[in-house]
Chains A and B, each alone.
Chain A
Amino acid sequence: MVPDINPVVLLFASVFTSNILLANFLGMCSFISISKDMKSANGLGLAVTVVLTLTAMLNWVILQYVLIPLDLLYLRYIIFIIVIAATVQILEMVIDRVSPALYISLGIFLPLITVNCAILGVALFMQIRNYSFIQTVVFAFGSGLGWWLAIMALAAIQKKLVKAPVPAGLSGPGITLITIGFMAMAFIGFSGMLNVQ
């Protein structure tokens, strides 16, 4: 049964109330390691959003027209991952040709996205929640935007943090994790507005 959710609501929900990063804690590794400066964070956020939307669409088609009819749902993990890896590979080659400047600014982040769990997470959520194609696209795009927003926010906070030295034992990943915790609490404030699954 396709759930009855307005796409606009779903978009808003996936960006704010059930942010893939701060509500579901997916895609943490690159979130923590690449959030040191705004420029890289911006590039990675863009790349995640594009890859997320593209792969969710592809995976939805394969799920609905291959895996479900053939009763092969248990293959979804491996199939989703193969599709994500291949999409990233193709995207990398196309960007290299079409826009070398973007290719350089994304640099090593693009291949890293293959192993970003937010991407696989979104593909699995859309299957568990029975989203329609439109809902999947909106949900994936919204999740990408949400991830982008969160990493930009963290990079901005990190920039301010340079001027406020923390005790040596907390510096680096320690204070970053605490910061993320505060951000997650702030985003919980949104969750009363909508409850969409």
Chain B
Amino acid sequence: MDYLTAPIVVAIIAGVLAAAISIVDKIVNNYGEVNISINKGKKILTLNGGDTLLSSLASKEIFIPSACGGRGSCGACKCQVISDVGAYLPTEIPYLDKEEMGKNIRLSCQVKVKSDIDILIPEDLFNVKKFNSRVISIRDVTHDIKELVFDLQGEEITFQAGRYVQLVVPPYDKIKGTTQRAYSMSSKPGDKNVIEVLIRLVPGGIATTWVHTHLKEGMEVELIGPFGDFERSETDAAMVCVAGGSGMAPFKSILYDMFENGDIDREVWYFFGARTTKDVLYLKEMMDLDAKWENFHFIPALSEPEEGSGWTGETGMITDVLDNYLKTKIDTDKAREGYLCGSPGMIAACNKVMTANNIPLDKIYYDNFA
């Protein structure tokens, strides 16, 4: 029986150590019941301490936007903490600037709830819900953009046109762990039972690859939202909207929302940039809207229209087209506001053109997903 001694000794020692670790874990990581006070006592959550702030809040149905699902790799789940929760962790510092640190803004996925804690979050987040939705339609609107419609299965979503939702991508193939990605809603606030989004295939993208190759009609998907502060302002300034590719989504929502609610006195210019005719989506729908709505002007522009495609619209870079219209066509005496949705490069370029044409930077609105 001598040959059994060694394995038994190793097993006993490892077992004793493992037991010691779990006993210490039980004693040391038991923080008892703690209170999370949100927005100076507007809402108080009581739960067991020891978990991260992000998942503690999620367990009570309050969802802070997060793209990586709490792994500390996206830096999205920022949250202002008023009470003392200790010094900044090395994992938080890369995602925060001096100003944010001055306000004690923390990454909620890194901060552990160990004692009573006071936090400030935007009121809108109380409205955020998790929806168990079902995919009812997937449609190609261009060669690389899909339009997806999710049925909320009896639940309702209330939001301002321009907001986004987070799509929860389950683990698939070699991707371990869930991933969350933000997509602007292209459905109108009036349609409370469905959410529509536009998703362009990004080569190598975790979420977009899953949507384009794995997601099928009838499947159940978790959506969390609404998030964001992109919306039309409550002024009568002329709206100068610029979008590229799937950046169409929030404008489709905003424009139909305005048209159907009779908010049609305001002047709206909508510039849509694409490379070829194959990359333009909802061309007919937008042209129809342009024809029915006097103050709405849809300006699609192609940078590389194919020979013989019969393209009669604008050609050239969207920024050049925009610059030209801002200088000559769009009333320069009246107040103008910029609305942007597209790639970070496009947003930066349009910001330049708009500020050069006297649209102040604080009147240019966009979501910063990057």
* Chain A residues packing against B (C-beta within 8 Å): 62, 66-67, 70, 72, 75, 78-79, 82-83, 86, 89-90, 93-94, 96-97, 100-101, 104, 107-108
Contact = CB atoms under 8 A, between A and B. Distances in A.
Given A86-B21, A101-B86, A96 B28 contact: yes
Across the A-B interface, give the 9 residue pairs with the lowest CB-CB distance, nearest first: A86-B17, A97-B28, A100-B86, A93-B28, A90-B24, A104-B87, A107-B90, A89-B21, A93-B24
B48 interface: no
A75 to B, nearest CB: 6
A102 B209 CA distance: 43
B13 interface: yes
Contact of B13 (A79, A96, A108): A79
B21 A82 contact: no
Contacts of A100: 86-87, 114
A75 B9 contact: yes
B28 A101 contact: no
B28 A94 contact: yes
Interface string B74-96: 00000000000011011000000
The size class of the interface chain B forms with chain A is: 10 to 19
A104 B91 CA distance: 10
A89 B19 CA distance: 12
Contacts of B114: 100
A117 to B, nearest CB: 20
B20 A75 contact: no
Contact of B9 (A72, A83, A93, A107): A72
27 contacts: A66-B13, A70-B9, A72-B5, A72-B9, A75-B6, A75-B10, A78-B10, A79-B9, A79-B13, A82-B10, A86-B17, A86-B18, A86-B20, A90-B21, A90-B24, A93-B21, A93-B24, A93-B29, A94-B28, A96-B28, A97-B28, A100-B114, A101-B86, A104-B89, A104-B90, A107-B90, A108-B90
Nearest to A98: B28
B101 interface: no
Nearest to B30: A97
Interface string B185-198: 00000000000000
Contacts of B13: 62, 66, 79, 82-83
B14 interface: yes
B25 interface: yes
B117 to A, nearest CB: 14
A101 B20 CA distance: 24
Nearest to A89: B21
Contacts of A108: 90
A80 to B, nearest CB: 10
Contacts of A89: 21
Given A79-B10, A94-B28, A104-B86, A70 B5 contact: yes
A97 B21 CA distance: 14
A8 B9 CA distance: 35
B17 A83 contact: yes
A164 B21 CA distance: 48
Contact of A82 (B14, B28, B29, B90): B14
B240 to A, nearest CB: 48
Nearest to A67: B9
Given A86-B17, A104-B89, A107-B90, A93 B10 contact: no
A108 B6 CA distance: 34
A101 B87 contact: yes
Contacts of A93: 21, 24-25, 28-29
A94 B24 contact: yes
A97 B13 CA distance: 26
B286 to A, nearest CB: 53
A66 to B, nearest CB: 6
Q: Which of B6, B13, B20 has the most CB of A within 10 A?
A: B13
Given A94-B24, A94-B28, A97-B28, 18 more contacts: A62-B13, A72-B6, A75-B6, A75-B10, A78-B10, A79-B13, A82-B10, A82-B17, A86-B17, A86-B18, A90-B21, A93-B25, A93-B28, A100-B86, A100-B87, A101-B86, A101-B87, A104-B89
Interface in B1-59: 5-6, 9-10, 13-14, 17-18, 20-21, 24-25, 28-29
A86 B14 CA distance: 9
B121 to A, nearest CB: 23
A96 to B, nearest CB: 7
Nearest to B12: A66
B214 to A, nearest CB: 36
A133 to B, nearest CB: 19
Nearest to B24: A90
Contacts of B25: 93
Nearest to A83: B17
B314 to A, nearest CB: 53
Contacts of A62: 13
Contacts of A94: 24, 28
Q: Which of A72, A86, A94 has the most CB of B within 10 A?
A: A86
A79 B21 CA distance: 16
Contact of A90 (B5, B10, B20, B87): B20
A107 B88 CA distance: 11
B113 to A, nearest CB: 13
